[in-house]
Amino acid sequence: MTAAVTFRSVSRHFGAVKAVDSVDLEIAEGEFFAMLGPSGSGKTTCLRLIAGFEQPDGGEISILGQSANGVPPWKRHVNTVFQDYALFPHMTILDNVAYGLMVRGIDKVTRHKAAEEALELVKLGGYGGRKTGQLSGGQRQRVALARALVNKPSVLLLDEPLGALDLKLREAMQEELKGLQKRLGITFILVTHDQGEALSMADRVAVFNQGRIVQSGAPEDIYNRPKTRFFADFVGSSNILPPALSESLTGTKRWTSLRPEAFTLETGNDRLSLAGQVEASSFMGAVRRIALKVGESTIHANLPAGVTIPTEGETITLHFTPEALNWLEDAV
């Protein structure tokens, strides 16, 4: 099967800044792929390289098996949904959506029909006559999506597409985007700094740091098995156990990570234990979050809200299975 997008040692430097630093990447056709990372880690530059708005300083980019080096944006089977939507306020919604087809010289009847269909896809059928000012933020986001989909791209690039929406709308749109992607079978490449968004929508996530991919894999894998301290800290909210603490638990002196939800108050034959003093205990709805002072470390545990609640100052023992302990690759 042809890959939708392939990077071979792709670099893009801006002066001394290695925005993208020798990145290798292969995104399958029909995959929902997320690029996740802190601000300035190079994910937007990667997206712009795929779109053709940037050219690499080194390496090879292929789109659908064809070299993309030197190919201008409009000749790639790729469309971008920008964070600010970039809609034209003086045009109707229908003309906004049909714009790409108009530029390509498609006649008015055909392009308006295609635009109507694209609006139906994003549940905005019948809104074509309005102007962008008459829509909510969430509806504008859908128009931007329809405007990209009308071109029937093989690859859709989404640059923080939900960044401007409030939390509730963002969660609803996450489900919708994922559903749409599955229905249409188009390759979606999403750039986000929101790990919840990446983990909930993508088939595969690549985490960027300083212009490089530090780890990639299925959401469950990268969440449960982070490889480095950076990664464990960035994805979710892992406890990072220093080598001495891991050694006291297992006999092996290595950095390890442990998810807050791995703990219980019940002991068991095979379980490992950490004893310490409760520093803080806060009600978080479904769980109660405990901060436990264990030697020099503070360990966070999420316990079911219904359990008997340890109070601050109390000494308690938390238990977890050895499999919950994740070995990190950082040097000791």
CB of 46 to ligand ATP, least distance (A): 7
Q: How far apart are CA 238 and CA 63, in angstroms?
A: 36
Q: Tell me whether residue 188 or residue 208 sits nearer to ligand ATP (CB atom).
A: 208
Residue 161 carries which DSSP code? T
Q: Tell me whether residue 48 or residue 227 sits nearer to ligand ATP (CB atom).
A: 48
CB of 5 to ligand ATP, least distance (A): 16
CB 322 within 8 A of CB 250: yes
Helix axes 93-103, 108-121, angle to 10 degrees: 120
CB of 314 to ligand ATP, least distance (A): 42
Residue with the two structure tokens 């806060």: 282
CB of 47 to ligand ATP, least distance (A): 8
CB of 18 to ligand ATP, least distance (A): 8
Q: Tell me whether residue 44 or residue 215 sits nearer to ligand ATP (CB atom).
A: 44
Q: Tell me whether residue 16 or residue 167 sits nearer to ligand ATP (CB atom).
A: 16
Q: Tell me whether residue 193 or residue 204 sits nearer to ligand ATP (CB atom).
A: 193
Closest CA to 115 of 152, 75, 141, 158: 152
Task: Look up residue 18 and give its two tokens.
Answer: 């290695």
Task: Look up residue 57 and give its two tokens.
Answer: 């300083």
Residue with the two structure tokens 């992607």: 181
Point out which residues bind ligand ATP (CB under 6 A): 14, 17, 19, 37, 39-45, 193
Give the distance from CA 189 to its chain's centroid: 9
Q: How far apart are CA 316 and CA 87, in angstroms?
A: 57
Q: Tell me whether residue 43 or residue 142 sits nearer to ligand ATP (CB atom).
A: 43
Q: How far apart are CA 156 and CA 198, in angstroms?
A: 15
Q: What residue number has its CB nearest to ligand ATP?
A: 44
Q: Tell me whether residue 191 or residue 258 sits nearer to ligand ATP (CB atom).
A: 191
* 58-63 vs 212-217, strand pairing mode: unpaired
CB of 155 to ligand ATP, least distance (A): 18
Q: Tell me whether residue 163 or residue 243 sits nearer to ligand ATP (CB atom).
A: 163
CB 203 within 8 A of CB 185: no
Task: Tell me the one-letter amino acid at 85.
Answer: Y
CB of 73 to ligand ATP, least distance (A): 16
Q: Which residues share a beta bridge with 298?
A: 293
CB of 20 to ligand ATP, least distance (A): 7
| Rounded alpha-carbon distances, angstroms, from residue 1 to 64, 65, 93, 186 | 10, 10, 37, 15
Residue 193 carries which DSSP code? S
